Structure 1
């Protein structure tokens, strides 16, 4: 009896079950008043044998009528919680029904008190109700007959779609997706597994109906051996109207059973799997459509309100991603110490990075940036970003660094297809001297639709939801000098010089194992900060200076003009001679040589107009410096 009481009521001490401490050992006991005398064993007997055996009352889902008054609120809500858990299990639907019923309480119960009642009911459900021999699971209790309207591929697929529409979905771009209890996963074999599970349930259903029809005929006075033989032998002994009706039910249930057995052949399993596709089809845009939802193993968080707002995993969210760890405080001190080391105690930079990474957790592009994490070796940049990516789990992805360069000639469409739904995409270690393909960068970092195609699948379009990060020891060369390009490039410096830790072999693994929960909490808090700031981050000096230096280093036209030209309003130079000098300059300095079209376009953008005269084409506003040889001559 004490064991059952402990399971049912949370205020009893599990470790103090002797009589004296059991009743008087809890200093925070919550009193539940009962208006009349009722012994504990009678109360439990009443709860188990009467209250919990009632069928689930559909009125719980109608708008509340009447009120639950003070004095009966706790007991009424406790009984209701147990009953709804018995019929629906520990689900969001059950909790929503409980909260709806709680709205009838006058005066209202505090949320903390409702959470306590719910927690006690969940413990009672898990330890007592589910353990009883006659317990029927919510799935079994709520399942209707699995018999199709007609014994065909379409009829069978229709029942599958009806019963498994909340865990199976299909799109042309992904094939089948299966909800695994936490998120939707693209996996054909998982989907086949659900079809097999359905067929097992269907076989049990058909067998149950068949056996029931046999028993009914036997109870009507027909010998069981004759019933099981069936056919003409059974038809001959059918006499009364009741037996005729039971015989009709028997024939129907037997045909159902035979149909189910036939459908278990591989070709019919495949037929059901394929026929159900249009019945389970959803639009690709339904997947990960709420950019503010963020999925973790323990719950789905609404980033608008940070760590305070979360709900249980819901297939209707159509989330296809999940982090590898749940948020928490574990390892917070280690993470703060690591941030201080990596970013040289620059708190302004640390706060900025937190908001930038927080925005990567959001499934929508609010700043069209490519983050370049730059620094020499042994500065923590790869450890930092790889740890962040590992914590984010399937929300993070990778892109080959060469896909961002001018040298890439291969089809990157399959790689781009893998970016759909990702929130952090990392490219790593670009080779020295590589030129950035600014057109590709603009495409990947923009909010415009991207066309992509998975191998052997239909092409599709998607709106980017990711932030692109390149961490590298060598900054790529940027040919474009327009503001549109440089607005997208954000350089985060990693200037620390970190000596090897002899006691820790792999610091990224160590960080994840010992500070993973704190890192994820830090990311979610960063998202909330960015949202509250309306995504207008305050750029620190370290980043501003890094971008400025980077742009100056890549001003190829400015370098050429400074070294080879005089600048003045009244000056001019023949365009052909100027370009020839530019080509020679590039050869001498081992620089990439732009075409005449790009060269003249860059001059025009810089304010040096090209004019056609009767003496030829001239560039206005500058002239070539005299060569040293010319000066000596």
Structure 2
């Protein structure tokens, strides 16, 4: 029987010709994506390889076209070779950064939503959306959910509106607020119900992370911890242990908008720009070692202190019936946030300020043991020794003199040196030193 002889390369070209409209290969993370009618869905079951094997099997049996039977093609090694050629075909291969380019487009099972306007749009391959909410939005008022919000906020409309803006902001891929949200309070006050409900509605846009990802530990976190966060718009976590401290440099990295290097297990590193917002709930607020301006800008402490008289144990499941309407409420929050941004209401600002006051050991040390005035020149060593004693009394580690110098300079106390005093700081001195000199 006459006919052409197929090669791995020719089989790959044929497969790409037949399938390139619906398949893309991400060279950055080495994953296939398939268009499913609403978004480009990551192929987690090796469906692409199965389709390639079926194409090869047809060629091996001489089915289709003018090929002759080639039984030798029916080998696993051939399938791997053909897949490799498919992965570099210009019609299918893409860079990792092509996905989800519009931070204000939201994928749903029934099309896209423009979060700037709330308008619904038809799903499109060219939008390169890879994720979807669990349900589509629907009209109507989520009455039980709004009642729950009133109960959780103890009737404070400003906090309720703030939560709507926050959850709307979480729908977007924007991180312009550079914010972390921490809901705290005892049990049965709604904080977990709120976060779980939002995460269930957001579907593939939400993921959970272990609290260890955001708290201090002796060793660096494995880069696969971060790889899981790529593409998410909401990262939820729960804090249940008292006395842990934030991994402050990591928090700033994850909320700062800069690119992050990560990798999946046994794969090469890739870079991504975080799109996610951190929303953490807990009974205890982790400790801060340094309270600087960057930290003050990022943290938003949301108190959940009101416990309803008769907590509904089945509330989360009851709210599931209103998920489409709750999503519409969140979309409206996104639209309003896009217009106005986030402004902390009084209750949130007060709770956040109180948290910083409690965590600001340096500020407490300055208030209790130092004076600040023009002309003050505190010697470096006595100041550090006083600081060391103070933090030890509070069960903390004092750190190094260099770190101490950096935080003092951030507070505006310039480090200097002269022959009389040696190293000293301008504008600050110990109370005891001033009293002796007087």
Q: TM-score, normalised by structure 1?
A: 0.63
User: d(CA) in 2 for partners of 1:460 and 1:371?
Assistant: 27
Corresponding residue for residue 350 of structure 1: 160
Deviation at 1:602, TM superposition (A): 2.2
Corresponding residue for residue 120 of structure 2: 309
Q: Aligned-residue CA RMSD in angstroms?
A: 2.7
Report the structure, 1 or 2, having the larger strand content: 2
Is 1:363 the counterpart of 2:154? The answer is no
Corresponding residue for residue 417 of structure 1: 227
What CA deviation, in whole Å up to 9, does each residue of 1:48-92 have, x standing for no partner?
xxxxxxxxxxxxxxxxxxxxxxxxxxxxxxxxxxxxxxxxxxxxx
Corresponding residue for residue 10 of structure 2: 155
Is 1:192 the counterpart of 2:49? The answer is yes
CA contact (8 A) 2:111 2:120 kept: no
Alignment of 1:195-594 (within 5 A): 195-196=52-53, 198=55, 207=63, 253=66, 256-259=67-70, 263-279=73-89, 280-306=92-118, 308-311=119-122, 313-329=123-139, 332-429=142-239, 431-499=241-309, 501=311, 505-512=313-320, 514-533=321-340, 536-594=341-399
Deviation at 1:339, TM superposition (A): 1.1
Return closer, same or farther for 1:570/1:302 CA change in 2, 3 Å cut-off. Answer: closer
Deviation at 1:197, TM superposition (A): 5.2
Q: Secondary structure of the equivalent of 1:321?
A: coil
Corresponding residue for residue 604 of structure 1: 409
Deviation at 1:463, TM superposition (A): 1.3
Return closer, same or farther for 1:304/1:582 CA change in 2, 3 Å cut-off. Answer: closer
Return closer, same or farther for 1:588/1:479 CA change in 2, 3 Å cut-off. Answer: closer
User: d(CA) in 2 for partners of 1:430 and 1:596?
Assistant: 33
Deviation at 1:451, TM superposition (A): 1.2
Deviation at 1:490, TM superposition (A): 1.4
Q: Which runs of no fewer than 5 residues in structure 2 stay unpaired? A: none
Q: Secondary structure of the equivalent of 1:258?
A: coil
From 32, 37, 44, the counterpart of 1:176: 32
Report the structure, 1 or 2, having the larger helix content: 1
CA contact (8 A) 1:423 1:467 kept: yes
Deviation at 1:203, TM superposition (A): 8.8
Return closer, same or farther for 1:619/1:188 CA change in 2, 3 Å cut-off. Answer: same
Q: Which runs of no fewer than 5 residues in structure 1 stay unpaired? A: 1-147, 210-252
Q: Secondary structure of the equivalent of 1:387?
A: helix
Return closer, same or farther for 1:573/1:314 CA change in 2, 3 Å cut-off. Answer: closer
Q: TM-score, normalised by structure 2?
A: 0.89
User: d(CA) in 2 for partners of 1:162 and 1:388?
Assistant: 41
Larger Rg: 1
Deviation at 1:159, TM superposition (A): 0.9
Aligned residues: 428
Deviation at 1:157, TM superposition (A): 0.6
Corresponding residue for residue 166 of structure 1: 21
CA contact (8 A) 2:242 2:284 kept: yes
CA contact (8 A) 2:4 2:68 kept: no
Q: Secondary structure of the equivalent of 2:322?
A: helix
User: d(CA) in 2 for partners of 1:444 and 1:498?
Assistant: 35
User: d(CA) in 2 for partners of 1:527 and 1:568?
Assistant: 46
Deviation at 1:425, TM superposition (A): 0.9
User: d(CA) in 1 for partners of 2:247 and 2:150?
Assistant: 34
Return closer, same or farther for 1:507/1:412 CA change in 2, 3 Å cut-off. Answer: farther
User: d(CA) in 2 for partners of 1:626 and 1:304?
Assistant: 58
What CA deviation, in whole Å up to 9, does each residue of 1:334-357 have, x standing for no partner?
111111111112112212221221
